[in-house]
Amino acid sequence: MKKFIDEFKNLIESSEAKLRSIGEEKSALKFSPNIWSSKEILGHLVRRGEISNSTQITRIQKIYTDFDLCGSA
């Protein structure tokens, strides 16, 4: 498991450097008006992740609240 975590950390760190090296102008390029730029795609993925995480946190909070209301805590 430690090997996996170390490899994952390295992937994140190297990905950040690669993304920063692309630059603002190049990341905003669109090959067609109807196609998203790479910057828009990345922004969409980040927002979707935030929404998913928020939804999961809300579900977990509800489970704990329901658990406490039953007097089982």
What is residue 46's predicted lDDT score, i.e. its pLDDT?
86
Question: What tens digit of pLDDT does each residue of 55-70 get?
Answer: 888 887 777 777 665 5
User: pTM, whole model, 2 decimals?
Assistant: 0.56
- Helix/strand/coil (H/E/C) assignment for every residue in the chain: CHHHHHHHHHHHHHHHHHHHHHCHHHHCCCCCCCCCCHHHHHHHHHHHHHHHHHHHHHHHHHHHHHHHHCCCC
Question: What tens digit of pLDDT does each residue of 16-63 get?
Answer: 888 888 888 999 999 899 999 989 998 888 888 888 888 888 887 777
